[in-house]
Amino acid sequence: MKQKRFFLQEDQIPKQWYNIQADMPVKPAPMLDPQTLKPVTVESLSRIFCEECSRQELNFTDRWIDIPEKVREMYTYYRSTPLVRAYGLEEALGTPAHIYFKNESVSPVGSHKLNSALAQAWYCKQEGITNVTTETGAGQWGTALAYSAKLFGLEAAVYQVKVSYEQKPYRRSMMQVFGAQVTPSPSMSTRAGKDILTKNPFHQGSLGTAISEAVELARETPERCKYTLGSTMSHVSLHQTIIGLEAEKQFEMAGEYPDEVIACFGGGSNFSGVAFPFMRHVFSGEKKTRFFAAEPASCPKITRGILSYDYGDEAGYTPLIPMYTLGHQFQPANIHAGGLRYHGAGAVVTQLAKDGYMEGMDINQIEAFDAAVLFAKSEGIIPAPESSHAIAATIRRAMACKESGEEKVLLFNLTGHGLMDMSAYDQYLRGNLINYSISDEEIKKSEEILAEMPK
């Protein structure tokens, strides 16, 4: 019988993460401290992030970084995640391509976010930190952090965008099951929140308000409380490389090697995770793999973003990051793939896109849901709306193979399941979804705002 799924034994799970920053042919421009406009240092970063993550962020020399033993132990609760050959989808498409996916939806919280949340919580604990804060929109990152904090005996305070808090009660319940304190943002518990509510008592919240509150809380007691982020930063991408490193070994078992690697793209962490371990063989000249970032047409930073220094958050608290960005004030359309509604790409992926190592692909939300439903019917898994963008991009590539008759090997990352997103599927099935594409005027407006940023 032909093999469907490939697993590693627990002792084959990689012992190190891959730090692409050591290998990049051209290093990214430095991140700048928003106050001094000087390159950030470990010391300045560690005012809000834990020290080890701050060191990893600025590590441009060590190719391999040891995964702490305890983090590896917690990885065994759900890793290795299976590498799956999508025979069902291949048949539905009638493509000669060999389609594989890495199934990160099997993690206890249902997404890849846990790969970094476990590491960040562990390092905080080691550094004598007692509390962690963060913001969450749809709730994937908040859930991963809530569970990780509980495992290592930390208190987690999660600020959730008020409108999501009210519209997605089950994600909030999941965070509360893991013992996190979840506050709808804006709230009266911080100065930033009070200011916003005084001006507008009915403010529905945004990631910007939630970040401002989470950072303010961490800054009050920097010796015992740290802020954490689930995407964009290099240390988050580093932790996610466990995905691609496992996949590399699993492809050996399958006797194949991917010609194309495809991932959905929010801030870039899962893309980095699945792609970077394969990209190192492109740097060395051994392989010619192509890499595709599937972004929503409503928030297309790789294909249409502007190369500029910009803040990672709406409030302007984070370092200035050299990024392909639509501007930190950009408000993308309210598509269902909440995890992809981020305005910019991290510094490393930005440099790699600039240097031609990766390509963007813009996907409309209806194409994403069409792909999701075809995938569900042929593989039995209901994917997260975010992951569905990667599936749609993979289907485009597989259909190109059908046209040309090429038997390419395609790999995509299934970042999460969609079982908490059934109301979005309901709307799709009732024909209530519409497509959003960013207009040229919006891009122009972003360009004008970004013209004010440091060069």
Beta carbon nearer to ligand PLP, 208 or 339: 339
| Binds ligand PLP by CB under 6 A, chosen from 88, 266, 305, 319 | 266
Q: In this structure, what token pair is assigned to residue 233? A: 């930063």
Beta carbon nearer to ligand PLP, 163 or 419: 419
| Binds ligand PLP by CB under 6 A, chosen from 95, 103, 231, 234 | 231
In the bound complex, what is the minimum distance in angstroms from residue 346's beta carbon to ligand PLP? 8
155 burial type by CB count under 10 A (0-12 exposed, 13-18 middle, 19+ buried): middle
| Binds ligand PLP by CB under 6 A, chosen from 327, 339, 344, 360 | 339
Residue 4: which H helix or E strand, with range?
none
In the bound complex, what is the minimum distance in angstroms from residue 312's beta carbon to ligand PLP? 12
Is 446 a residue that touches ligand PLP (CB under 6 A)? no
In the bound complex, what is the minimum distance in angstroms from residue 105's beta carbon to ligand PLP? 8
Q: Which amino acid is at 100?
A: Y
Site for ligand PLP in 78-137 (CB under 6 A): 111, 113
**DSSP bridge pairs for 310:** 321
Instruction: Please state the φ and ψ torsions of residue 5, each to the nearest 5 degrees.
Output: -125, 145
Query: How does strand 83-85 pair with strand 5-6?
Result: antiparallel
Beta carbon nearer to ligand PLP, 14 or 338: 338
Q: Which amino acid is at 74?
A: M
Is 140 a residue that touches ligand PLP (CB under 6 A)? yes
Which letter, b or e, does each residue of 297-311 get, where b requires 16 or more Cβ atoms within 10 Å of its Cβ? Answer: bbbbbbebbbbbbbb
Beta carbon nearer to ligand PLP, 88 or 385: 385
Beta carbon nearer to ligand PLP, 129 or 414: 414
In the bound complex, what is the minimum distance in angstroms from residue 387's beta carbon to ligand PLP? 6
- Asked if residues 138 and 444 have their Cβ atoms less than 8 Å apart, the reply is no
* Count of residues touching ligand PLP (by CB under 6 A): 19
Is 267 a residue that touches ligand PLP (CB under 6 A)? yes
Only segment of 127-135, 261-269, 299-307, 444-452 that touches ligand PLP (CB under 6 A): 261-269
Contacts (Cβ under 8 Å, ≥6 apart) of 170: 420
Which letter, b or e, does each residue of 101-139 get, where b requires 16 or more Cβ atoms within 10 Å of its Cβ? Answer: bbbbbbbebbbbbbbbbbbbbbbbbeeebebbbbbbbbb
In the bound complex, what is the minimum distance in angstroms from residue 151's beta carbon to ligand PLP? 19
Only segment of 93-101, 218-226, 263-271, 296-304 that touches ligand PLP (CB under 6 A): 263-271
CA of 284: how far to CAs of 64, 65, 244, 255, 275, in Å?
Answer: 16, 20, 17, 21, 15
Instruction: Catalog residues that contact ligand PLP under the rule CB under 6 A.
Output: 111, 113, 140, 231, 264-271, 339-340, 384, 386-387, 415-416
